[in-house]
Amino acid sequence: MSVQQPHPRVLIVSGGRLGEWASALLATYDCIIGADRGAEFVASNGFRMKLAVGDFDSVTQGGLDLVREFSDELLSFDAVDKDWTDTELALREAVSRGFRDIDMIGALGTRFDHTLANVHLLKQAQELECSLRLIDEQNEIRLCTNKAAMRIAEDSRYENVSLLPLSETVTGVTLEGFRYPLRDAAIKLGQSIGVSNVLVAATGTITIGGGLMLVIRSRD
């Protein structure tokens, strides 16, 4: 009897801020899903997509033809008659296809409303029982819950580690391997006590007792 292989980590490319750093990242993934203008970015860099999804209202006809050429499958939605953003559609489609380890680029950009909505997708991913990581040129954002301790390895690309509640309160916050440790602390939404911590060990550990905590690794 054949054993079903787990899905690889998939990269969702949305239409926010992208650049040469993103082009280089495309080559490190075996599976890519493009969302609207993000799909055009993938195709214009010569990479194939497992799926392109969106209303494509920000893509020219020539760009859409290119997306079709470089996509195994294309799902087009009406720009008005849809409930979710193109990025959320891409996430939902990725999960429906069995992907559980998901990275996302182009989710952070000049539109703060879209950026904040995409950060909130971390909560939806947690509810869908998958792992989501948002990445741009200077940041990596994940969500820590009380299901398991989060371990962070030292990485020269990211000097800072900030913890910001996504729920009203995060309780039982314990940090090990950080310059500013915490032990069974509570952090409320709106407090900045978790901003700009630094790893002082090869691996840091973040444990929370309850709530949802954004873990943001960044550099200036």
Whether residue 1 is contained in a domain is answered as: no
Per-residue model confidence as pLDDT tens digits over 69-107: 999 999 988 765 566 889 999 999 999 999 999 999 999
State both tokens at 125.
Answer: 């991913």
The domain that contains 47 carries what CATH number? 3.40.50.10240
Whether residue 18 is contained in a domain is answered as: yes
pLDDT (0 to 100) of residue 1: 38
- 43 and 103 fall within a common domain: yes
Mean predicted lDDT score pLDDT of the chain: 92
Whether residue 5 is contained in a domain is answered as: no
- 163 and 102 fall within a common domain: no
User: Average pLDDT, stretch 58-66?
Assistant: 92
What is the domain range of residue 43? 10-137
The pTM of this model reads: 0.91
Neighbour tally for 203: CB within 10 Å = 11
pLDDT (0 to 100) of residue 201: 95
Burial of 21-60, coded b for 16+ CB within 10 Å and e otherwise, reads: ebeebbeebebbbbbbbbbbbbbebebebbbbbbbbeebe
Residue with tokens 């990479």: 47
194/17 Cα distance (integer angstroms): 26
- 36 and 130 fall within a common domain: yes
- Confidence band of 115 (pLDDT split at 50, 70, 90): very high
pLDDT (0 to 100) of residue 173: 97
59/38 Cα distance (integer angstroms): 9
Per-residue model confidence as pLDDT tens digits over 136-160: 999 999 999 988 899 999 988 899 9
Per-residue model confidence as pLDDT tens digits over 164-213: 999 999 999 999 999 999 999 999 999 999 999 999 999 999 999 999 99
pLDDT (0 to 100) of residue 4: 45
Strands (E), the chain: 10-13, 31-35, 51-54, 74-76, 101-105, 131-135, 139-144, 150-153, 160-165, 169-176, 182-188, 203-207, 213-218
Coil, helix or strand for 198?
A: coil
- 188 and 130 fall within a common domain: no
Spatial neighbors of 123 by CB under 8 A, at least 6 apart, are: 143, 166, 212
Judge whether 48 and 27 are in contact, CB under 8 Å: no
pLDDT (0 to 100) of residue 152: 93
